[in-house]
Structure formats: C-alpha cells, structure tokens
Chains A and B, each alone.
Chain A
C-alpha cells in the first residue's frame, strides 16, 4: 500500500522580509497632515507688517494721504521716503493712475495732490503747487501730457 499522505514541514519562525514601505507611507501621510494644518487650518498670522504688504485699496489710501500731506507741507524728502515704503515698481505711474481714478471719482483735491506729486517726481519744477497743476475735464487725459503710461505704444522707429 502506498501511503499518499505526506507531511509538509514548514518553518513557522522563518523571518519574513517586509519592505519598510509602511514607514514611508506613514511619513508622507504625516507630512501632508502637517502641511494642511500649517497652511490651511492654522496658518501663520502676520503682525507688524509693512506698508508694502497692504492690499491695493489700502495702498491707494496710504498713497493718497502721502500726496495730500506733500501738497500741504511741500516736504518732498519726507514724501518720497513715505512713498518708498509702498515699494511701488513705478511710483510715478501709480501716482498718475491713482490721480485719474480719484478724478473720475470726483475727488478733485486728492487728484490734484497725486498729480502734483507725480509731476514733481517726474522732474517738473519743484515750485509747483496743487493749484498750478492743471486738471483737464476728463479723467483720462489728466496725466497724459506729463506722465507716460505703461500702455503707450513704443514707436517703431525714430525719424
């Protein structure tokens, strides 16, 4: 008789080599959780900020105030230092475009002050006063003679 029954011996204590992939996945999960918490749930809140970090509307208020103070005091050095705090890439352009917006909104005093400061920074006579800066009827034209805008086409060739 042939005994067909066989015993299979396995070694139950044989070490199973498992990859440490679970550690890596744990690390990635933790990293994602940390980033979500740090960026979205509880992000850094800034205090003691600088004027350059203000929003566009608040920058306009700040810039308008600087220009109005300059129009009253005539202290260009202080006005320029204050304006530099806003870190505008093109301060003259910003002043001029804000002057247009102020004029369109019917705020003549602020428009004049902004236009005055823009023209002084552009190199116009230092003795300019708010009253001496002409304000045209339409807001679009206010600074066009004195201050080039970014939208002006570049001439293809010079005569």
Chain B
C-alpha cells in the first residue's frame, strides 16, 4: 500500500516537472510568434512617430477628419489620450521643436473641434 502511495507521488511529481518544463519552453524558449500584430500594440516611440506623420500631413491638408481617421489606426484608445501621451513622449525624448509644435497644433485643433461638438 505504501509503495503505491510512493509511486503515485512520484508520478504526480513527474507530471509537475513536465508541466514546468513545458511552460518554460512554451513561454520562454519558444513562445508563440504572431505573424501580424496590431498597430495599437506598437511601442510608444513608433506610435509617437505615426502621430507625428499624421500631424505633418494635417499641416499640409488641413483636414481634421482625415487626421482623426489616421489616428484611429493606432487603436481604440481616446485620440486625446494618445496625443497627450505622444506630446509627453516627444518632450521627454527631445523631439525637434518643430515636430513638437506640429503635434501640439494637431492636438489643439482636435481639442477645439471636440469642445465645439459638446
């Protein structure tokens, strides 16, 4: 009887070791690799650069709806939150003043437009 208990204990231990090894391999050594990720998962610096591109295009086109549509590319998050985060990132990482001014201008125009809607 005691032997059976020991055998069961060792079996359970072996399963535990196997699960640990499987998790280590599946999460650490060879995790699932996504062939295509979504834009909202981009690192903040890439998101900031995309916002800058939208701002550069907005300066030339003066089309706020188009600018908002472009910013929608970066996901469901609020556009104002996105712009604030981008501005903060741009200031912290010392973007060129002209680039910061572009983002600022776009943010102000969007703010103004949203205020006008309310």
Contact = CB atoms under 8 A, between A and B. Distances in A.
Given A38-B31, A39-B26, A65 B18 contact: no
B111 interface: no
Interface of B: 7, 10-27, 31-32, 34-39, 41-44, 46, 49-50, 53-54, 56-57, 60, 70, 73
Given A32-B22, A37-B22, A65-B57, A82 B49 contact: yes
Nearest to B27: A38
Interface stretch (A41-49, A96-104, A119-127, A149-157): A41-49
B53 A30 contact: no
Contacts of A37: 19, 22-23, 26
Contact of A30 (B10, B19, B35, B56): B19
Q: What does DSSP make chain B's interface, helix, strand, loop or mixed?
A: helix
Interface string A11-46: 000000000001111111111111111110001101
Contacts of A26: 10-15, 18
Interface stretch (A2-10, A50-58, A87-95, A137-145): A50-58
Contacts of B22: 30-38
Given A25-B14, A65-B53, A85-B46, 6 more contacts: A37-B23, A44-B31, A55-B36, A61-B39, A62-B50, A72-B57
A76 interface: no
Nearest to A23: B14
B18 A32 contact: yes
A29 B34 contact: no
Please list the 5 inter-chain residue pairs (A to B) with the smallest Cβ-Cβ separation, ordered nearest first. A34-B22, A30-B18, A38-B26, A55-B36, A26-B14
Contact of A72 (B11, B26, B39, B60): B60
